[in-house]
Amino acid sequence: MFTGVMAVSSTVHKNLIGGAWVGSATGASFENRNPADTDDLVGTFPKSSQEDVDRAVEAAGKAYESWRLTPAPRRAEIVFRAGQILAQRKEEYAREMTREMGKVLKETRGDVQEAIDTAFYAAGEGRRLFGQTVPAELPDKFAMSIRVPVGVCGMITPWNFPMAIPSWKIFPAIVCGNSIVIKPATDTPLSVVNFARALEDAGLPPGVVNVVSGTGGSVGAPLLKHAGIRLISFTGSTEVGQQIAVECARGYKKCSLEMGGKNAMILLDDADLDLAVEAALWGAFGTTGQRCTATSRVIADRRVVASFTERMVARARTLKVGSGLDETVEMGPCVNEAQLRTVESYVQIGSKDGARLLTGGSRLSGGAHGKGWFFEPTIFGEVKPDMRIAREEIFGPVLSIIPVDGMDEAIRVANAVEYGLSGAIFTRDVNKAFRAMRDVEAGILYVNSSTIGAEVQLPFGGVKKTGNGHREAGTTVLDIFTEWKSIYVDFSGRLQKAQIDRAD
């Protein structure tokens, strides 16, 4: 039986720099509070500055010189041990994540599990990191390519997956031989601290991973501009990502961006409606809609839209909203007041633009909701493709249902947004499913499933304004965190001048 907030005392946390947990140069700190109960202080964290970033980059640079020379299989063994430690601490870290971020326990357990999966997958690359061997065009000459690490990598991570997303970046990066300075999201720094402690306890050498908490202006900007940083890996909004891309271009830094989404589920007239309802419910309201892959649009054939809408609204009204620490709760709070106000503003915009509010639309207050940032599961019907709620990322529990005439229009509507991260189609027709696989503009596509649920062994990322072409997860992530080096070995004992010396 759920009895309220866990009896956990608040803790003063510090930065991890050069293997030591230290306070910020400013001496200042900020509070991390439970979005389901703002009386619950999760902890205080350093409000860091340029000086802290400088120290962390210097420590990472020193660690890099020996870490890059550590054999990749040995680096990978540390990552594997970190995965085992995360597995042992899964429940503890999941509960602390729910306290600081708000999503329900089954989801925070999944977040930690994603980090575990990534650890084991990335560790396998320590014995691969494949290059190529190719025939040389001259005799007595050997040609091959190898991967080499980039150097010191700066990482800026979001609050919605506060352990999974750092794991997507950090584990492959260190297996490749890089060192790290990471700025966690100010809403969820504890999960990154816990992640770093698991690496520390796994035997990671000092300075290979450094954690500096603070705001985007005081930590993110100095990290981005620091001459000692060779690569920036960012997950967050498209607006901030664009600024990061410009700054990285100025500094000739490698840049990996994972940004927004406005993901659509296409519902054809032959779909299994009960399955589609469950998928849309999970996709739209899982993590309170605060996922870049959230199902924010259902594009439904007019022949089934009324039946689907009736079932969807009925199910949404049964969702239990509350503290994620309660095992019976199905949807937690928005992460903070600003996010809740953003959701409120989009509900007003949708109503003003003529969409029909079918359920929800209001903040929840009083009783169990009185001290948190709770919002009702919200559904709009009769949404037109050009409405703002159908085009702009809301990042909250708001679903738009858009009626269309057939598959061709459905795909046009799905593609008529500036994002292209995830998509889904529900149909029993294999031919239509394959058309969607070909024609939907998205980096990820699901058939008869929700728009959420990516696995670590396949690339993760999108097209258009969702990113800049790089992919996380899978083997493709290695292309972010390594550079290619081509090597030629001439054992002829004489100078051969490549194409000039060819005997035709």
Catalytic residue among 292, 330, 376, 393, which?
Answer: 292
Instruction: Please determine, for residue 6, whether its predicted confidence score (pLDDT) is greater than 80.
Output: no
Instruction: Please determine, for residue 8, whether its predicted confidence score (pLDDT) is greater than 70.
Output: no
pLDDT value for 188: 97
How far apart are the C-alpha atoms of 112 and 121, rounded to whole Å? 14
Is 258 labeled as catalytic in the residue annotation? yes
Nearest CA among 198, 205, 177, 231 for reference residue 18:
205
184: enclosing H helix or E strand: none
pLDDT value for 500: 83
How far apart are the C-alpha atoms of 238 and 259, rounded to whole Å? 5
Instruction: Please determine, for residue 394, whether its predicted confidence score (pLDDT) is greater than 90.
Output: yes
Each residue of 363-380: pLDDT tens digit? 999 999 999 999 999 999
How would DSSP label each residue in 287-335? GGG-STT-EEEEEEEHHHHHHHHHHHHHHHTT--BS-TTSTT-SB---S
pLDDT value for 62: 98
How far apart are the C-alpha atoms of 57 and 80, rounded to whole Å? 25
Residues 503/138, Cβ–Cβ less than 8 Å? no
The pLDDT confidence band at residue 333, using thresholds 50, 70 and 90, is very high
Percentage of residues in the chain having pLDDT higher than 90:
96
Residues 104/98, Cβ–Cβ less than 8 Å? yes
Is 292 labeled as catalytic in the residue annotation? yes
495-504 mean pLDDT = 79
Instruction: Please determine, for residue 448, whether its predicted confidence score (pLDDT) is greater than 80.
Output: yes
Q: How many Cα atoms within 13 Å fall on the side-chain side of residue 376?
A: 18
C-beta pairs of 235-241 under 8 Å, 24+ apart in sequence: 235/156, 235/157, 235/158, 235/165, 235/169, 235/259, 235/292, 236/156, 236/158, 238/393, 238/418, 238/419, 238/465, 238/466, 240/216, 241/467, 241/468
Neighbours of 447 (CB within 10 A): 14
CA pseudo-torsion sign 365, 370, 373, 378: negative
495: enclosing H helix or E strand: none
What's the pTM?
A: 0.95
Residues 504/490, Cβ–Cβ less than 8 Å? no
Catalytic residue among 114, 200, 258, 393, which?
Answer: 258
Percentage of residues in the chain having pLDDT higher than 70:
97
Each residue of 186-215: pLDDT tens digit? 999 999 999 999 999 999 999 999 999 999
Mean pLDDT of the chain: 96
How far apart are the C-alpha atoms of 331 and 319, rounded to whole Å? 7
pLDDT value for 504: 64
Cα angle value 76/20/11 (rounded, 5°): 105
Instruction: Please determine, for residue 116, whether its predicted confidence score (pLDDT) is greater than 70.
Output: yes
pLDDT value for 245: 97
Instruction: Please determine, for residue 232, whether its predicted confidence score (pLDDT) is greater than 50.
Output: yes
Helices 189-201, 164-175: axis angle to 10 degrees equals 40
